[in-house]
């Protein structure tokens, strides 16, 4: 049995999709959600899905409380699903190649500090890109910088807007993120 923790900061639609994907899987247990934003919708989703959810702040992260929670819960893998803070080095080193993030663009483009959510889709739109996509990658102590595990592309047209780009990218996320997590943790 592998225990997973999901870190999320916002809506949590990926978190929900991952929980549903693994719900009948005896090998994978989504043990808890860790959320750094007390008004994030992911908290409601966690309640509805009966998944324990802990809300934490910067101090918990800095003081090592989050690391302690991960160890107390015997967490084997960490999934970042729309989590906006940098993960401390203490955790990235301990969980080397065991933290998986999804980024809503084709890294190394449109990544790094401050490049998240709608900002990414707006930049892709403004630069008139003819494609965007998702990148699933391991996490190190830098933003969007760890080894890439998987990428998928979606074509863009001149009719696309930041909103339609976001929708196309979300569709790829829902399709691939749980499958790639499953594959990666079974290696």
Asked if 117 touches ligand GRF (CB under 6 A), the answer is yes
Backbone φ and ψ for 142, nearest 5 degrees, come out as -110, 160
Which of 14, 37, 51, 92 is in the footprint of ligand GRF by CB under 6 A?
A: 14
| Contact criterion met (CB below 8 Å) for 78 and 70 | yes
Asked if 29 touches ligand GRF (CB under 6 A), the answer is no
**What SS3 class is residue 5?**
strand
In the region spanning residues 126 to 145, those forming contacts with ligand GRF, defined by CB under 6 A, are none
Q: Shortest approach of ligand GRF to residue 166 CB, angstroms?
A: 7
Q: Shortest approach of ligand GRF to residue 80 CB, angstroms?
A: 7
Asked if 102 touches ligand GRF (CB under 6 A), the answer is yes
Question: What residues pair up with 86 in beta bridges, in sequence order?
Answer: none
- 103 in catalytic set: yes
Whole-Å CA distances, 100 to 5, 29, 88, 129, 163: 11, 16, 14, 26, 25
**Contacts (Cβ under 8 Å, ≥6 apart) of 107:** 135, 137, 144, 148, 151
Q: Shortest approach of ligand GRF to residue 26 CB, angstroms?
A: 25
DSSP letters for 122-153: HHHHHTT-SEEEEEEEE--SSTT-SPEEEEEE
Which of 100, 104, 110, 160 is in the footprint of ligand GRF by CB under 6 A?
A: 104
Sign of the CA dihedral running 69, 65, 97, 15:
positive
DSSP-derived secondary structure letter, 174: H
Name the active-site residue from 103, 121, 137, 170.
Answer: 103
> Residues 146-175: x/- map of binding to ligand GRF (CB under 6 A)?
---------------------------x--
In the region spanning residues 47 to 86, those forming contacts with ligand GRF, defined by CB under 6 A, are 81-82
* Binding positions for ligand GRF, rule: CB under 6 A: 8, 10-15, 81-82, 102-104, 117, 173
Catalytic residue positions? 103
């Amino acid at each position: 049995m592998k225990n997973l923790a999901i870190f999320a900061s916002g809506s949590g639609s990926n978190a929900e999709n991952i929980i549903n994907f693994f719900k009948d899987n005896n090998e994978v247990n989504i043990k808890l959600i860790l959320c750094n934003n007390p008004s994030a919708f992911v908290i409601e989703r966690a309640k509805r899905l009966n998944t324990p959810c802990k809300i934490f702040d910067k101090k918990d992260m800095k003081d090592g409380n989050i690391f302690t929670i991960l160890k107390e819960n015997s967490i084997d893998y960490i999934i970042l699903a729309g989590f906006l803070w940098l993960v401390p080095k203490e955790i990235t080193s301990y969980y080397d190649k065991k933290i998986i993030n999804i980024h809503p663009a084709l890294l190394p483009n449109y990544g790094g500090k401050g490049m998240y959510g709608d900002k990414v889709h707006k930049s892709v739109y403004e630069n008139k890109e003819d494609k965007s996509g998702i990148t699933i990658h391991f996490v190190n102590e830098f933003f969007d910088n760890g080894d890439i595990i998987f990428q998928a592309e979606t074509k863009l047209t001149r009719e696309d807007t930041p909103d339609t780009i976001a929708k196309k990218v979300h569709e790829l996320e829902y399709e691939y993120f749980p499958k790639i997590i499953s594959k990666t943790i079974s290696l």
